[in-house]
């Protein structure tokens, strides 16, 4: 489990194609990783397959993960948001994030509002029921508050978010451009509520 609070900005050193998969080599800046631990890379929960004392780590990305996330577009030199898994004593400064991507959002536009940035993303219509105004959402692993949410139009809808200077400077959101995809994870609590309403509580 993660909280959506980005701890480090890593950099892709290499992308090695495998049979229907890729191996991401990431300069994490983390010197105390454990083999097999989970780290969220742009909001996707990945397993440390190998690492060295400099913080260089390998992550295997399967065909399933490539088909559901934007990790396949990463190239050497790209910056990525990194978060290590939460512990029982971690402050939940963001919200509950699993690192399981629900879909892709695409950046519609960015405009400056003082020192902050107002950004708008377009999301698939299938996710509309899980998104509410002032609710939480994770984009590329960053826990954010939804300021505005539109109705569905032509199989999609939009959300608007206000990004404060700290988040802009300490995550990869500042490098995303119009049309670029972002990994989306909706609030898991909404999915549990949906399941309970659909199937009820059974004894």
Residue boundaries of the structural domains of the chain = 6-82, 101-195
The listed CATH number (3.30.420.40, 3.30.70.2190, 2.60.40.10, 2.40.30.20) that belongs to domain 6-82? 2.40.30.20
Q: Specify the pTM.
A: 0.90
The percentage of residues in the chain with a pLDDT greater than 90, rounded to a whole number, is 82
- Least Cα distance to 43 among 164, 181, 158, 182 occurs for 182
Cα three-residue angle 141-9-170, rounded to 5 degrees? 80
Instruction: Count the residues in the chain.
Output: 203
Cβ of 173: how many Cβ atoms within 10 Å? 22
CATH architecture observed for domain 101-195: Beta Barrel (2.40)
What are 49-54's contacts with CB under 8 Å, separation 24+? Answer: 49/23, 54/27
- Least Cα distance to 189 among 177, 181, 197 occurs for 197
Tell me the per-residue pLDDT of 182-201, one tens digit each, with 9 for 90 and over. Answer: 999 999 989 988 898 888 77
Equal fold, 6-82 vs 101-195: yes
Tell me the per-residue pLDDT of 37-86, one tens digit each, with 9 for 90 and over. Answer: 999 999 999 999 999 999 999 999 999 999 999 999 999 999 999 999 88
Cα three-residue angle 78-84-90, rounded to 5 degrees? 140
């Amino acid at each position: 489990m993660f909280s959506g609070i980005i701890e480090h900005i890593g950099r892709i050193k290499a992308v090695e194609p495998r049979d229907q998969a890729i191996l991401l080599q990431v300069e994490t800046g983390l010197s105390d990783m454990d083999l097999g631990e989970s780290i969220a890379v742009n909001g996707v929960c990945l397993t440390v397959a190998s690492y060295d004392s400099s913080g260089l780590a390998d992550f295997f990305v399967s065909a399933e993960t490539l088909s559901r996330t934007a990790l396949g577009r990463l190239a050497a030199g790209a910056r990525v948001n990194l978060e290590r898994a939460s512990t029982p004593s971690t402050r939940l400064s963001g919200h509950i994030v699993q690192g399981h991507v629900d879909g892709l959002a695409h950046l519609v536009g960015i405009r400056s509002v003082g020192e902050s940035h107002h950004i708008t993303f377009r999301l698939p219509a299938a996710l509309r029921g899980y998104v509410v105004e002032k609710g939480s959402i994770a984009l590329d692993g960053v826990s954010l508050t939804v300021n505005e949410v539109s109705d569905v139009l032509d199989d999609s809808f939009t959300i608007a978010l206000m990004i404060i200077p700290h988040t802009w400077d300490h995550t990869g959101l500042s490098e995303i451009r119009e049309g670029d995809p972002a990994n989306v994870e909706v609030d898991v609590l909404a999915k549990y509520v949906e399941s309970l309403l659909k199937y009820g509580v059974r004894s």
